[in-house]
Amino acid sequence: METSPLLLSLRCHALHLLDRHREALVVADKLRHILPSWSRGHYWRGCCLLLACRPQEALTSLLLAVALSAGQAPPNPAGMPCPHTLIQAGLGQLCSLSEVHLQLLVNWISKEITRLKRLESKSSNEILVVPPSLPPGIEEADFDCILCSRILWKPVTTPCGHTFCSGCLDRCLDHTATCPLCMAPLHDLLSSSRCISVALKAILELMLPASSLYSRELSARAELAAPAHVPVFVCTVAWPGVPCPLYVFEPRYRLLVRRCVETGGRVFGMAAGSEGGHGFVDVGTLLDVRDWLRLPDGCSLLTAVGARRFRVIARAERDGYFTARVELLRDRPSGPGVKELAEKVRCKGQRWVASMPPNARAEVERAFGHMPAQESGDYCCPPDGPAWAWWLLAILPLSPRLQVAILATTSLEKRLRAIDKTLDRIQCCRV
């Protein structure tokens, strides 16, 4: 949001010279709210209103501009008429201005100047609190979202005619596909990317003080902002470098995934559930979201790939899902002989995959791709060692407990031995 008064004033000027007076009015209003006692904002507003044939309002703004510049030259931007000329034009547009009217106007202007000066002396560098200047009978609360009781943010109007913040509506639709107010079915809104109501957004910007919208924007951003904790999807063990397709249907995970995608971070933690009181095990894998497909019923299909492993340091909760402060895991340097062990295990793994029934093998490769080739260079390539080992682990029949233990170890040798043993066990069962 542009907040430099000088730039806003220059923009007003440019818009005037381009005959884009309606846009200039929006900018002038912003300027007026940011710096209430600067004569420029009122001058530009007066110009716009005069051209919009609203002489009474134009006059109040222009008179304010002159009064606020007391002791200095009134604003007179290049190529624009001076305020006095404009005031005369405004008076000319008015059919009549009675003495009572004039007195009221003068009183109002002197009060307004006192108010604006008081406001500006109080304002800090943060948010300027300007009381709304809404038409009579309309209050700021009329623009509140009924779901969050704050000013509508990215307003969306449903086919049944009700308006909510886009994010608030999403959270309702996570639970049931009906309008939160009138219960009308809203299935069509689930899969489509809905449009923000442009007209309503413009009205909000025009009628509400910039400061109110600014603080609403701040709170909306805070809601989305990535906290220090990683959101945790509790479901299964995911492996580094291995695809982890997910069908997202639970309301809390719909919210988690949406936040991840909307903030552009596209990373969350995946961890297996635990029977203890903690909700999930101590180690997990960060997942990198590659693709997100919203289904007509509001659920979604997620294509994600495992990234780094993590250990949980602290746990928390946010809007129903778990979060965690994590440290990333990294393999320790391997001892001598690991290269030979790795080579042996890789060949054994390859033989096992080759011996699978064709349809089972096709199924594995459809879900996880082909077995990754041996990376060139060092075997103990940190932080996670060779990719083919994780690929084998993803398809080997391991108990959930063993899976977690293998994910947690930072010894490549231990991981390879676990694979080796499991392959031997499979071989024994076959014989």
Two structure tokens written together for 274: 């635990």
User: Using CB under 5 A, which of 26, 181, 381, 408 touches Zn ion?
Assistant: 181
Determine whether 159 is exposed, middle or buried from the number of CB atoms within 10 Å of its CB (0-12, 13-18, 19+). Answer: exposed
- By beta-carbon proximity to Zn ion, the closer residue of 25 and 179 is 179
Which residues, 6+ apart, have CB-to-CB distance to 332 below 8 Å? 410, 411, 412
165 makes contact with Zn ion (CB under 5 A): yes
Task: Report d(CA 5, CA 70) in Å as an integer.
Answer: 19
User: Using CB under 5 A, which of 31, 58, 66, 148 touches Zn ion?
Assistant: 148
- By beta-carbon proximity to Zn ion, the closer residue of 262 and 363 is 262
Determine whether 303 is exposed, middle or buried from the number of CB atoms within 10 Å of its CB (0-12, 13-18, 19+). Answer: middle
List binders of Zn ion among 273-332 (CB under 5 A).
Answer: none
- By beta-carbon proximity to Zn ion, the closer residue of 89 and 147 is 147
Q: Which stretch binds Zn ion (CB under 5 A): 105-113, 176-184, 271-279, 419-427?
A: 176-184
- By beta-carbon proximity to Zn ion, the closer residue of 150 and 278 is 150
Which three-class secondary structure state does DSSP give residue 3? Answer: coil
What are the φ/ψ torsions at residue 284 (nearest 5 degrees)? -155, -170
Closest CA to 49 of 60, 57, 37: 57
- By beta-carbon proximity to Zn ion, the closer residue of 62 and 186 is 186
Please report, as a single letter, which amino acid is at residue 50. Answer: L
User: Using CB under 5 A, which of 162, 315, 318, 348 touches Zn ion?
Assistant: 162
160 makes contact with Zn ion (CB under 5 A): yes
Task: Report d(CA 179, CA 186) in Å as an integer.
Answer: 6
201 makes contact with Zn ion (CB under 5 A): no
User: Using CB under 5 A, which of 147, 172, 353, 405 touches Zn ion?
Assistant: 147
Q: What is the separation of C-alpha 42 from the centre of its chain, rounded to a whole number of angstroms?
A: 35
Helix segments in 225-337, DSSP class H? 251-262
- By beta-carbon proximity to Zn ion, the closer residue of 104 and 184 is 184
What are the φ/ψ torsions at residue 132 (nearest 5 degrees)? -65, 145
Q: Which stretch binds Zn ion (CB under 5 A): 78-86, 129-137, 167-175, 265-273?
A: 167-175
- By beta-carbon proximity to Zn ion, the closer residue of 163 and 409 is 163
- By beta-carbon proximity to Zn ion, the closer residue of 138 and 184 is 184
> Long-range contacts made by residues 196-202, C-beta under 8 angstroms, separation at least 24?
196/154, 196/155, 196/156, 196/166, 197/155, 197/156, 197/157, 197/163, 200/152, 200/155, 200/157, 200/163, 201/154, 201/155, 202/26
Two structure tokens written together for 225: 């902002």
DSSP state of 389: H
Minimum gap (Å) between residue 146 Cβ and Zn ion: 8
168 makes contact with Zn ion (CB under 5 A): yes
177 makes contact with Zn ion (CB under 5 A): no
404 makes contact with Zn ion (CB under 5 A): no
169 makes contact with Zn ion (CB under 5 A): no
Q: Which stretch binds Zn ion (CB under 5 A): 173-181, 188-196, 234-242, 325-333?
A: 173-181
Minimum gap (Å) between residue 144 Cβ and Zn ion: 8
- By beta-carbon proximity to Zn ion, the closer residue of 148 and 304 is 148
Two structure tokens written together for 181: 């107010």
Minimum gap (Å) between residue 151 Cβ and Zn ion: 9
| # residues contacting Zn ion (CB under 5 A) | 11
CB atoms within 10 A of CB 302: 21
CA distances from 337 to 334, 340, 343, 344, 412 (A): 9, 5, 10, 11, 11
Cα-Cα-Cα-Cα dihedral sign, residues 391, 282, 272, 296: negative
User: Using CB under 5 A, which of 138, 182, 202, 314 touches Zn ion?
Assistant: 182
220 makes contact with Zn ion (CB under 5 A): no
- By beta-carbon proximity to Zn ion, the closer residue of 179 and 272 is 179
116 makes contact with Zn ion (CB under 5 A): no
CB atoms within 10 A of CB 428: 8
Minimum gap (Å) between residue 155 Cβ and Zn ion: 9
Q: Which stretch binds Zn ion (CB under 5 A): 11-19, 144-152, 315-323, 408-416?
A: 144-152
Q: Using CB under 5 A, list all residues that contact Zn ion.
A: 145, 147-148, 160, 162, 165, 168, 179, 181-182, 184
